[in-house]
Each structure stands twice: as structure tokens, then as C-alpha cells.
Amino acid sequence: MDILNSTLKDAVHALRTKQYTSCELAQTCLDTIKKFDKQLHVFLTVNEENVLKEAKTADSLLAKGVEKPLLGIPIALKDLYSTENLLTTAGSKIIDNYVPAYDATVVGKYKKAGAIIIGKTNEDAWGHGSSGENSDYEPTRNPYDTSRVPGGSSSGSAVAVATGMCMASTGTDTGSSVRLPAAYCNLVGIKPTYGRVSRYGIIPMASSFDTIGHMTKTVYDNAYLYEITAGYDPKDATSVDIPVPKYTSFVGKDIKGIKIGIPKEYVQAPGMQKEVRKLTENAIKDLESLGAIIKEVSLPHTDVAMACYYILVPSEISSNLARFDGVRFGHLRDQFGAEAKRRIMLGTHALSAGYYDAFYKKAAQVRTLIKQDFENVFQDTDALVMPSSPTVPFKLGEKVSDPLSMYLSDIFVCPVNIAGIPGLSIPCGFADHLPVGLQIVGPQFSEERLYQIAYAYEQIHEWYREIPSLLKDKI
């Protein structure tokens, strides 16, 4: 069974047409985990005891002709997702024994759709990071080059899909944490409009920035999952009650006449590798050849976006992590890792008396200006295109001692979270055999347009078919 070259769409079709069973699919994924997980450090918990039982049940339902969109499909969950009776650690040793009594709303939707939860994936602890190196356990490694990072914080979720350990995976994106690992692992990753997908049952990082996304091999697969996860949830006060379109119906529509803006501040950003710049330029030319109208636009407050983000987000982190005091639940606070401590101290300082007006209040005002920049651009532009990251995946340990350098890897993605708008990262080629991602951004609730543009590009270059060399060598 060639899981590595199968898409989610392929697997759904194969199960329904009885080309193979859910038990065979699940066992293949479990075998792949056993073969590569010790080297790549992808999973924190494997749900092996229940996976084959659930797969057997799925096969019984499939035999009866029951149709559910994900019936019998193995899905991996980032370890921030609360899962009933299944260990949930947030990649942190402080709550390494926490077993929730309920499922997050998104997990419930996956289960209702028939998905099989194969396990919980590794991550930067609490979602704090863009490389995966801030896990309280072993850092996840990039399967395209195991000496490099896979992106974070949803690091394990990305590698799980890239290596065929599951057919799709979940992540959270507060500033980059779905799009960056998707870019670094040759995947499609969605950061939804804020409020489009319920956050209920997700261990929070920064509540006014957090969004719930997922990673897949193809654009169609991503749109297919988004139809399942998006929607109003009365349990989440920030959830928006707006009808969910059939996103897959926009896949395959031509993009002739769509206006795509190229932000000059991003193109001119310092530190962008020339190979990344070239691949981005090539992708823009491809979109133009498909009939899109390309124009230069300006987002004038781009240069202060990272400063804004790293005041507001640590402030919310310091508040959210205050509950982990070692008294009510969890271990003592000395178990926090270095990055968690850094963000708690930054946030507490920004919110403290005498500094609140100078830091937090000013950053909140800048956030409004950044949001207005995007709103102004979208008055005459349907979408924006830019790199997902200024560089290819960097070496493990390369930026650990320089947090500011690490933070700058998010320079093209954080502003999207500040504005609360959707962003989609898709593969756009390889530089020195390492994946490079292209980000497509739109106004609030325009995800269908992002999928439309992304799919049109994907038909020219099926980059997702290039599997990691690690797997080519050993399978």
C-alpha cells in the first residue's frame, strides 16, 4: 500500500471502493510510525490500543454502505487539542499526566465524520516557537533533512503527514504555527479567519490570536477538511455564526481576472534567501500566466508588525499560563522551559504598572493600524501572495541562542494573525532539495478564494509528489 503517494482524497475513494480496508490503512500508518518515529520524534502519544478497534468498526460501517466524509481515515492531532481519555500534554512536562474528560469541538467533529485519531503529535511546548525545538521532549526533525527543523510549533503534525504516518493532521496557528511547518515540510496548511473554527477545548496560547488549522498534502484535501471543521460553536464566544461554503466547489475554478497584490515591503524584506525569492517570483509568473492580474501593493506598517506581535502575544501568554501554578493542577512552575519563561516575563513586564501604556497599549494601537493596512489593500485586491518564510528550513540549534533571529522567521506570517485574516501556505518548489512555501492571504472569510488560487497553481506544479529522501532510501 503506497500511503506516501496517496492523498486524503485517494484514501477516501480507496476505502469506499474496497481497494483496501481501514484496518490495512491504519496498520500501515502505525508501522510507519514504528519505523521512523525514534529518528524523527513525531508523536508524544500513539493511540495504538484503540486505533485498530476503531478501524475494524469503520470497516464494518463501510461494508454496510455508511458514508461519512472521513470514515476509516487516520488523523493526527497536535497535543494542544483536548482528547477524551487520551493524554494531552501541550508538549510540556508541567501537565505530562493530564488526561481530559472531554474532546475539543474540532476533535468531536472529526470523530463524527468517522476519523480515527491515531495519536497526539510533538510541538513547541504550549505552542511557543517556530522550529519545534522548544518541545519539553525531543525536538522533531525535518524528514527532508534530519539535521534541520520542520517548522513549529505544529512540528510533529507536519512531519506526520509528510512521512505517511497519517492522512492529515491538525495544528494551531497563533503567528505561524501551521503555515511555517507546512512550508518547511512541503505541505498545504491553512490559518483560518479568526473565529471561523472553534477554539473550544484547545489549550490556549494567545487567545485573541489563536486559530485552528490543519495540514494536508494537497489543496483539495485541505478544503475537504475545512468543510468539516469550520462553523459556529456556541461553546466558543469568539466563534462567528456565518454559513460555511462548500470550499471544494471552488477548487478547479479558473483564476482569470483575479487581482493579486504583491506587498513591496515583503519583496524587499532583508534576509530573504535568493533561492526563496526566485521561487516566489516564478510562482507569481505562473499565476499571471493563468490569467491573474498582478499588481504591487503596500502594507506600510509591516516594519513594526513583529514588535507589535511580541508585545501582545507574550502578554496574553503570561495571563493564560498563570493558572499553571502547581497548586490546582500540573507540576511546579520550575518545569517551564526557557522559551515559556521568556514569554511569561516579557508579557508580565508589558502589562505591569508603569509600562502598560508604553508597551501593551501602544502595541494594541499598532495592531489596529496593521489591520487597517490589509483592509485598505483589499478594497481593490482579491488576495495577496508572498513567501511563507524568508528562508529554507534552518539547522537544528542554529537559532536557539538567538531568540530574536528565531522570531524573525515569522516575519511574513505573523501580520496575518495580527489582522485576523486567513492565510494558506502551499508548496512552491525546492531550494537545495529543501521545501519552500508560498503564502496566499485574503480578506476575512475569503478562504474559498485562497483555495481557488492555490489549486490553480498546484495543477501546474504538483510539488506534493516529491516525498522526503529519508523515506525513499528506507522504504
CA 193, 195, 200, 206 dihedral sign is positive
Q: How confident is the model at residue 420 (pLDDT cuts 50, 70, 90)?
A: very high
SS3 label, residue 241: coil
Per-residue model confidence as pLDDT tens digits over 143-169: 999 999 999 999 999 999 999 999 999
Query: Structural domain boundaries of the chain?
Result: 8-474
For the ranges 1-15, 191-205, 356-370, the lowest mean pLDDT is seen at 1-15
CA angle 233, 410, 168 (to 5 degrees): 50
Per-residue model confidence as pLDDT tens digits over 363-373: 999 999 999 99
Q: Is the pLDDT of residue 475 over 60?
A: no
Mean pLDDT of 105-119: 98
315 is catalytic: no
Q: 206 with 226: CB under 8 angstroms?
A: no
Mean pLDDT of 19-25: 97
- DSSP string covering 379-438, please? TS-SEEEEES-SSSPPBTTSSTT-HHHHHGGGTTTHHHHHHT--EEEEEEEEETTEEEEE
Q: How confident is the model at residue 430 (pLDDT cuts 50, 70, 90)?
A: very high
Gap between the Cα atoms of 158 and 175, Å rounded = 16
Mean pLDDT of 255-271: 92
pLDDT value at position 474? 58
Per-residue model confidence as pLDDT tens digits over 53-90: 999 999 999 999 999 999 999 999 999 999 999 999 99
pLDDT value at position 291? 98
CATH of 8-474, one of 2.70.98.10, 3.30.2320.80, 2.70.98.60, 3.90.1300.10: 3.90.1300.10
153 is catalytic: yes
Contacts of 303 (CB under 8 A, 6+ apart): 265
Q: How confident is the model at residue 325 (pLDDT cuts 50, 70, 90)?
A: confident
Q: What percent of the chain has pLDDT over 70?
A: 99
Catalytic residue among 177, 198, 388, 389: 177
Quote the mean pLDDT of the chain.
96
pLDDT value at position 473? 65
pTM for this entry? 0.97
Mean pLDDT of 386-411: 87
Indicate the residue type of 219: V
Mean pLDDT of 121-127: 98
For the ranges 235-244, 265-274, 430-439, the lowest mean pLDDT is seen at 265-274
Q: How confident is the model at residue 447 (pLDDT cuts 50, 70, 90)?
A: very high
Catalytic residue among 6, 131, 135, 153: 153
What are φ and ψ of residue 52, in 5° steps? -70, -30
177 is catalytic: yes
pLDDT value at position 270? 79
Q: 425 with 388: CB under 8 angstroms?
A: yes
CA distances to 53, 207, 238, 281, 311 from 306, rounded to whole Å, are 47, 18, 24, 24, 9
Catalytic residue among 22, 78, 130, 198: 78
Q: Which contiguous run of DSSP H or E holds residue 261? A: strand 259-263
